[in-house]
Every structure is written in structure tokens, then in C-alpha cells.
Amino acid sequence: MKRVAVTFAQTRSPVEWGMQAKLTPMRFERGAMTQRRDGQTWTVQRLFHNGHEMLYILTFYLPRFLNQTYMEKLVTVFHELYHISPAFDGDIRRFEGACYMHTGSQASYDKQMEEFVRQYLRMKSPTSLRLFLRHDFHGLRKSHGNVVGLRLPNPRIIPMDDAA
């Protein structure tokens, strides 16, 4: 995870529905640093932390993400992490067909993530790794104080003429 920046964004409204989290790849298809579109070559703004270039940004939308059930939070984490390319090259995992991000059905993708979570929980991993997910936003603040973290702007896609 040292090449995955974990950040948060504040939701604009207190509703429960909507985006919970997102994974932002820091490379184009197959890990390419550039992409040619409409006669222009583009690159992604790069991000470094502690001497390591980040290949992904994992953003959680607060308080919405924390106000899900424990199982929903775990499924959300698995959902986003599973988007990471098996090559870990800064690109996303791509499936066959037009809906290359969610296998043609986000519902079936999420069902698969639920199964992964169940397998993970059966492995008896240390509960300390996920104990904070048992709280909603208010409960986490009550138990641990203010929720603080790193906020990052979305990386920009930059024309190569401007990247130098």
C-alpha cells in the first residue's frame, strides 16, 4: 500500500446514497505515462509521498462511507481495491466488453466483492485492522476525537506541452 495514497473528501450533502469511495489510477491503460487523443499527447499529474510515486489514490467520502453498515464498508473497500490492476502498474483492472470496470454489471461485481469479504473474514485476520470500521462517523468521533486525514485534489490530465 505504500504506492496507494489514501485520502478523504467531504460529501456535499448528508444523504446516505451516492458515491462512498473511488479509486483514481495515476496511469493510462497498461501503465502508460502518456496517452494520445485527438492529436494531443496527455499525461497525468504525478504525486509523490516519502520518495515513492503514488500509482493510485483511494478516496473515501466522509461521513457517508463511515455511516454504512460494517459489511457495506468492507465491501466498499474491497470494491475499490479490486479495481487495482493485477499488474499494479497505475492502471485499473479491465474486464472484457464495454463495461470494462464492473464486468457489465456493478451489482454482480459487488456480489463478488461480498464473497471476497466473507472469505477474508473467515481467514481470521487481526480484528485490530478493521475495528474502526465498526463505528459510524459520530461514533468514531466520540471514541477517538476528530477525524483527520490527508485531503488531496484530483490529479489533472495535462497536455504534454504544459507538463514540462
In the chain, where does DSSP find H-type helix?
70-82, 106-122, 137-144, 160-163
Mean pLDDT calculated for residue range 87-116: 82
Per-residue pLDDT band for 98 (boundaries 50, 70, 90) equals low
CB 149 within 8 A of CB 8: yes
Q: What percent of the chain has pLDDT over 70?
A: 93
Residue ranges covered by each domain of the chain: 4-163
* pLDDT, tens digit (0-9, with 9 covering 90-100), for 20-45: 999 999 999 999 999 999 899 999 99
Phi, psi of 161 (to 5 degrees): -60, -30
Residue with cell 516519502: 50
* Residue of 103 and 56 predicted with greater confidence: 56
Within 11-150, strands assigned E span 21-25, 34-37, 40-44, 48-49, 52-53, 56-62
Chain centre distance of CA 90? 12
Predicted TM-score (pTM) of the model is 0.87
Q: Which residues pair with 10 in a beta bridge?
A: 62
- d(Cα 140, Cα 70) in Å, to the nearest integer? 13
Q: In this structure, which amino acid lies at residue 19? A: M
